Amino acid sequence: MSVFDYTRRKSHSVNIGGIPLGSDFQVRLQSMTSTSTMDTSASVEQCKRIADAGASYVRLTAQGVREASNMGIIRQQLRDAGYSIPLVADIHFNPKAAFEAAQQVEKVRINPGNFVDPGRTFKQLSYTDEEYASEITKISNTLIPFLDLCKQHGTAIRIGVNHGSLSDRIMSRYGDTPAGMVESAMEFLRVCVAQNFYDVVISIKASNTVIMVETVRRMVKAMENEGMDFPLHLGVTEAGDGEDGRIKSAVGIGTLLSEGIGDTIRVSLSEDPEFEIPVARTLVNYIAQRSSAPSIQGEFYTQYDYCAPQRRKSVAINNIGGDNPPIVAIDNDECNTSTETGLRADIFNASNYINRGDFIEINAAQRPTPALKEQADKVIVLYSCHKNHIGEMQAWLHQAMQLNICNPVILRIDYGDAAAEDVAIMAAADFGTLLMNGFRDGIWLRASAISPEEITRFAFGILQAARLRITRTEYISCPSCGRTLFDLQTTLKEVKAATAHLKGLKIGVMGCIVNGPGEMADADYGYVGAAAGKVSLYKGKTCVEKNIPAEEAIEHLINLIKSSDDWVDPV
């Protein structure tokens, strides 16, 4: 077994209402309701649809004790209707709700950012070492009684860290960093281990795929260093909807699944929750096929940083490689039909270059040798026919780095006659893995059953999701849940219609203030539900207008963008 073979990370199993995850169990799929938890009938019906779509678990929001209590009624009505799907309570800010939920459902998700610490205020606090240690003691004092109650009722928990809701205490010592996110989880895990409570799943999420992948990798390493093997839940928060949401989720989740990390996943889309399950299933099944692939021999390049890989060193040839942004290669017959505005210089007709001899095609099964340095003026097109093609391509690239071969490398993957939605998911997982791991000179996506326009759009969408090129407006939008204060799907479409021409801007569209200001912290502008029928607008992390009537909010958003000189009129 080599580092390039696909194998699942070893974790212990956690039983959640008779459906265990972790260990050798299949990767479980889950979603979250978008109904009010106090609307019992609507919540029951949506839980049924999520279960019928194939989810193993369904999560509901529990803002307070009464919502947590009502989850017991929802659970009983589901059982009466013949549905045994375990329910998960999502807790924010209110530990009392967690204690109630532990008596009603099979699993409770708590957020270390606000379970003990007060809600985030984005203020810089200062602690002496003694004061900081005292704050850690508070975690034990609050968490231990909760763990005891969970033991009594056989309730599992999820310790769920979100990039946007780290506590001010963690921020004061670690900043808004992967290290801070990991430590936020580890503080709670150490208490669990000390109390011999192991029915715990970890999630550590961000809307930025680069941060999400790095942080999960560091989380795995931190647990290994302390002898822990808790199972992991994966997700990219606020991924959006449609094609962009699917691509962004597949880049982040797919990269980690490719490494064998992940025991349960949620693809968070700003759509009806049952639509998330087929996307998750496609992603999980596609990666799992690699388990039967022949072994791939090889080792990581000796200077490779697994947690945060740097870009592979290459020389620049024809604006490919070196410090140039990744290019998109296309086939000859696509040259006249691929029209990504303003990007023509970075769309290469690769077939022509191959025919002229400027590009050379190499099968990754043929490992590089020092003789390749004699063709240092060529761009390499790397492909693989191996069942674990991503593993074989990475093995080739690591050996090339070890030999100091610095040709630019375009990564080519062919998806045959697969359908468009499947191609978007598979290609995002594949190219996402390679791009996240530092192989960033160019990508070449082939798929015979979809149009050249779709191929080009998918390719640039993958590069944007991997934070390597910004070629369109980026929307950071949450999936609907019971906390959402407006019709998120309709609102997102309206915001997109008004702003989709603003290439390079990042706009957050968030249903409520629970995660909103934090999860969209790196957005340029934010549109956040403040109360029923009311919206607050943000510029960066700063709220600049509060409680605007929802019907006027988009006009106010446009005026805010104009006043900041970020507006251009659509062509």
Task: State the Cα–Cα distance between residues 413 and 424, nearest whole angstrom.
Answer: 12
Instruction: Please give the span between the terminal C-alpha atoms of the chain, in angstroms, as a whole number.
Output: 55
What's 464-518 look like in SS3? Answer: HHCCCCCCCCEEEECCCCCCCCCCHHHHHHHHHHHHCCCCCCEEEEECCCCCHHH
Q: What confidence tens digit (pLDDT) does each residue in 121-174 have?
A: 556 667 777 878 888 888 999 999 999 999 999 999 999 998 777 888 888 888
Task: State the Cα–Cα distance between residues 307 and 301, nearest whole angstrom.
Answer: 14
Percent above pLDDT 70 for the chain: 92
**What is the DSSP secondary-structure string of 249-296?**
HHHHHHHHHHTT--SEE----SS-GGGHHHHHHHHHHHHHGGGGSPP-
pTM confidence score: 0.89
The two structure tokens encoding residue 320? 């490919």
Are the C-beta atoms of residues 489 and 495 closer than 8 Å to each other? no
Q: What stretches of 54-128 show up as alpha helix (H) in DSSP?
A: 65-80, 95-101
CB contact set of 285 (below 8 Å; sequence gap of 6+) = none
> What is the three-class DSSP state of 417?
coil
> What is the three-class DSSP state of 121?
coil
Q: What confidence tens digit (pLDDT) does each residue in 512-521 have?
A: 655 555 556 6
pLDDT (0 to 100) of residue 57: 98
> What is the three-class DSSP state of 153?
helix
pLDDT (0 to 100) of residue 71: 98
Task: State the Cα–Cα distance between residues 152 and 3, nearest whole angstrom.
Answer: 41
Q: What confidence tens digit (pLDDT) does each residue in 7-44 have?
A: 999 999 999 999 999 999 999 999 999 999 999 999 99
> What is the three-class DSSP state of 215?
helix
Q: What confidence tens digit (pLDDT) does each residue in 252-296 have?
A: 999 999 999 999 999 988 788 999 999 999 999 999 999 999 999
Contacts within 8 Å (CB) and 24+ apart, 524-527: 524/566, 525/557, 525/560, 525/561, 525/566, 527/491, 527/495, 527/553, 527/554, 527/557
The two structure tokens encoding residue 201? 């799943």
Q: What confidence tens digit (pLDDT) does each residue in 193-242 have?
A: 999 999 999 999 888 899 999 999 999 999 999 999 999 999 997 656 67
pLDDT (0 to 100) of residue 217: 98
Q: How far does CA 51 lie from the centroid of its chain?
A: 22
pLDDT band at 483 (very low <50, low <70, confident <90, very high): low
CB contact set of 200 (below 8 Å; sequence gap of 6+) = 14, 156, 157, 158, 159, 189, 192, 230
Q: What confidence tens digit (pLDDT) does each residue in 416-432 have?
A: 999 999 999 999 999 99
Are the C-beta atoms of residues 60 and 37 closer than 8 Å to each other? yes
Positive or negative, the CA dihedral 447, 452, 453, 458 is positive
How would you label 130-148 residue by residue, b for 16+ Cβ within 10 Å and e otherwise? eeeeebeeebbebbeebbe
Please, how many CA atoms are within 13 Å of residue 305, restricted to the half-sphere of its CB? 10
pLDDT, mean over the chain: 90
How would you label 337-369 residue by residue, b for 16+ Cβ within 10 Å and e otherwise? ebebeebeebbbbbbebbeeebbeebebeebbe
Are the C-beta atoms of residues 225 and 183 closer than 8 Å to each other? no
pLDDT (0 to 100) of residue 338: 45
